[in-house]
Copies of this chain bind each other. A is one copy, B any other.
């Protein structure tokens, strides 16, 4: 479902739209993935949404792969905008506050990704050096180095953060999380699943019984993604801080 049909004025009958640009193609692709999921983003469906024939897309995009590159770029640019709007500006933050500044940037990036739950799986598969991704990471490197961390430690830090630097993490048991396809999220189907888990994973069940906010037999109680993300992030940031204090490692 989309309002693209009527969102811009056009000459009466034919399907010709104002003028197609790469930017409009990418924006529509993002909108389509937002509303229908990444699986629904095909060259044909995207063209339909734009009131155009599939083959016309190839005038603005070299291939499906290039389309996904562009889509990733749009999302990361959105992150850069959000992060750039932070106060105080990164250059004005006292170097010693690198940890809080980094934390804030990463959580801001995450808040953008929460609006595009499909984005992590696209970002994961981009192998090239997208200019905006590089620029984002370069700013993080600058922040850490200005904070007094040696380049050696900064390098380790970037690896340790991994995709967390962009605000998402790999949660193997979190089908509803930022990386998951909403359509693929299974109904917890509590009764059977819990019985199975009690057999196969008694310790996990015991853990969840103690930890989960809800009773484990009512729903399985998906965990608080945001809180767990921050826990893991802080674990890493605190560790880095400790290493930095220990004489730039």
Instruction: Verify A145–B185 contact, CB threshold 8 A.
Output: no
Mark each residue of chain A from 164 to 188: 1 if its CB lies under 8 Å from any CB of chain B, else 0.
1110111111010001110011100
Q: How far is the CB of A39 from chain B (nearest CB, A)?
A: 12
Expressed in whole angstroms, the Cα–Cα distance for A209 and B204 within the complex equals: 45
Task: Tell me if A200 and B162 are in contact (CB < 8 A).
Answer: no
Separation of A238 and B193 alpha carbons in the complex (Å): 34
Whether a CB of chain B sits under 8 angstroms from the CB of A20 is no
Let me know if A214 is at the binding interface, CB within 8 A.
no
Cross-chain contact of A203 among B145, B175, B179 (Cβ < 8 A): B145
User: From residue 146 to 176 of chain A, which have CB atoms closer than 8 A to chain B?
Assistant: 151-152, 154-156, 159-160, 162-166, 168-173, 175
Given contacts A202-B138, A203-B142, A204-B134, contact A232 B159 (CB under 8 A): yes
Q: Mark A119-138, 1 if CB is under 8 A from B, else 0.
A: 00101101111010111011
Q: Mark A196-215, 1 if CB is under 8 A from B, else 0.
A: 11001111101110110000
Interface of A (DSSP majority class): helix
Minimum Cβ distance to chain B for residue A142 (Å): 4
Taken together as a complex, chains A and B put the C-alpha atoms of A180 and B8 apart, in Å, by 41
CB-CB contacts below 8 Å: A227-246 with B = 228-229, 231-232, 235-236, 238-240
- How many copies the complex holds: the figure is 2
Number of residues in A with C-beta < 8 Å to the partner?
65
A141 within 8 A of B: yes
**A contact residues vs B (CB 8 Å cutoff):** 121, 123-124, 126-129, 131, 133-135, 137-139, 141-142, 145, 151-152, 154-156, 159-160, 162-166, 168-173, 175, 179-181, 184-186, 193, 196-197, 200-204, 206-208, 210-211, 223, 228-229, 231-232, 235-236, 238-240
